[in-house]
Amino acid sequence: MGTEGENVRVIAGRYRLEERIGRGGMGVVWRAADQLLGRQVAVKELVLDASLSAEEARLQRERTLREARAVAQLRHPHIIVVHDVVEHDERPYIVMELIDGGSLAERIGTNGPVDAREAARIGIALLGALRRAHGAGVLHRDLKPANVLMEAGTDRVVLTDFGIAQVAGATTLTESGSFVGSPEYTAPERMSGDRTGPASDLWSLGALLCAALSGESPFRRDSLGGILHAVVVDEIRPPAQAQPILPVVRGLLERDPDRRLDAAEAERLLREFLETGRTPRVPVPYTPTERDVPRRAVPPPPLPPVREVPEAATPPATDVPRNAKQSARGVLVAAALVAAMAGAGVSAAALLMHDGGSGGNTPASSGPPHMSVSAGPSHPSSQGPSPAPTVTVTRSPASVSASASAADHKAPSGYRQVRDPDGFTLAVPDGFTRSPQGERIFYLSPGQTFRIGIKMADPEPGGPIGVMRAADADGPSTNPGYHDGQVTETSHGGNPAALWEFSWNGYTAAEGPRHTYDLCWEQGGRMYDVWVSAPVGKIREAKEYFDVAVDTFVPA
Cβ atoms of 518 and 309 closer than 8 Å = yes
pLDDT of residue 349: 24
Q: Could you give the CA distance from residue 538 to residue 247 in angstroms, rounded to a whole number?
A: 22
Give every CB contact of residue 79 below 8 A, 6+ residues apart in sequence: 129, 132, 133, 158, 159
Average per-residue pLDDT for the chain: 74
Instruction: Tell me the percentage of the chain whose pLDDT exceeds 90.
Output: 40
Main-chain dihedrals φ then ψ at residue 263, nearest 5 degrees? -60, -45
Q: Could you give the CA distance from residue 261 to residue 209 in angstroms, rounded to a whole number?
A: 14
Cβ atoms of 358 and 453 closer than 8 Å = yes
More confident residue, 101 or 372: 101
108-125 burial, b if ≥16 CB within 10 A, otherwise e?
A: beeeebbebeebbbbbbb
Residue 546 has pLDDT above 50, yes or no: yes
Q: What structural domains and CATH numbers belong to the chain? A: 9-97 (3.30.200.20), 104-276 (1.10.510.10), 339-555 (3.40.1000.10)
The Cβ of residue 41 has, within 10 Å, a number of other Cβ atoms equal to 20
Residue 529 has pLDDT above 90, yes or no: yes
pLDDT of residue 112: 95
Q: CA neighbours within 13 Å on the CB side: how many for 412?
A: 15
Lowest mean pLDDT among 207-216, 320-329, 431-440: 320-329
pLDDT tier at 518 (50, 70, 90 boundaries)? very high
Cβ atoms of 212 and 124 closer than 8 Å = no
More confident residue, 380 or 435: 435
* pLDDT tens for each residue of 500-516: 999 988 877 667 889 99
Angle at CA of residue 299, ends 298 and 303, nearest 5°: 70
Residue 321 has pLDDT above 90, yes or no: no
Q: What is the DSSP letter of 545?
A: H
Lowest mean pLDDT among 162-171, 271-280, 405-414, 415-424: 162-171
pLDDT of residue 235: 86
Quick check: pTM over 0.75? Answer: no
pLDDT tier at 550 (50, 70, 90 boundaries)? very high
Pairing of strands 495-504, 364-365: unpaired
User: Residue 284 region, left (φ>0) first, then alpha (ψ -120 to 50), else beta?
Assistant: beta
Q: What are the E-state strand segments in 116-232?
A: 138-139, 148-150, 157-159, 166-167
More confident residue, 461 or 47: 461
Instruction: Tell me the percentage of the chain whose pLDDT exceeds 70.
Output: 70
Residue 208 has pLDDT above 90, yes or no: yes
pLDDT of residue 14: 94
Give every CB contact of residue 382 below 8 A, 6+ residues apart in sequence: 312, 329, 330, 331, 438
Give every CB contact of residue 183 below 8 A, 6+ residues apart in sequence: 191, 219, 224, 227, 228, 231
Size of the chain, expressed as the number of residues it contains: 556
- 142 is annotated as an active-site residue: yes
Residue 207 has pLDDT above 90, yes or no: yes
* pLDDT tens for each residue of 51-96: 778 888 787 777 777 767 777 888 899 999 889 888 888 888 889 9
* pLDDT tens for each residue of 356-393: 333 333 333 333 333 333 333 333 333 333 332 222 23
More confident residue, 19 or 288: 19
Lowest mean pLDDT among 49-58, 67-76, 164-173, 242-251: 164-173
Lowest mean pLDDT among 218-227, 393-402, 404-413, 459-468: 393-402
Mean pLDDT of 318-344: 33
Mean pLDDT of 474-496: 88
User: Of 34, 49, 115, 142, which one is the catalytic site residue?
Assistant: 142
Q: What are the E-state strand segments in 140-271?
A: 148-150, 157-159, 166-167
Q: Could you give the CA distance from residue 242 to residue 210 in angstroms, rounded to a whole number?
A: 7
Q: Which of 401, 336, 438 is nearest to 555 (CA)?
A: 401
pLDDT of residue 481: 86
Lowest mean pLDDT among 210-214, 251-255, 325-329, 484-488: 325-329
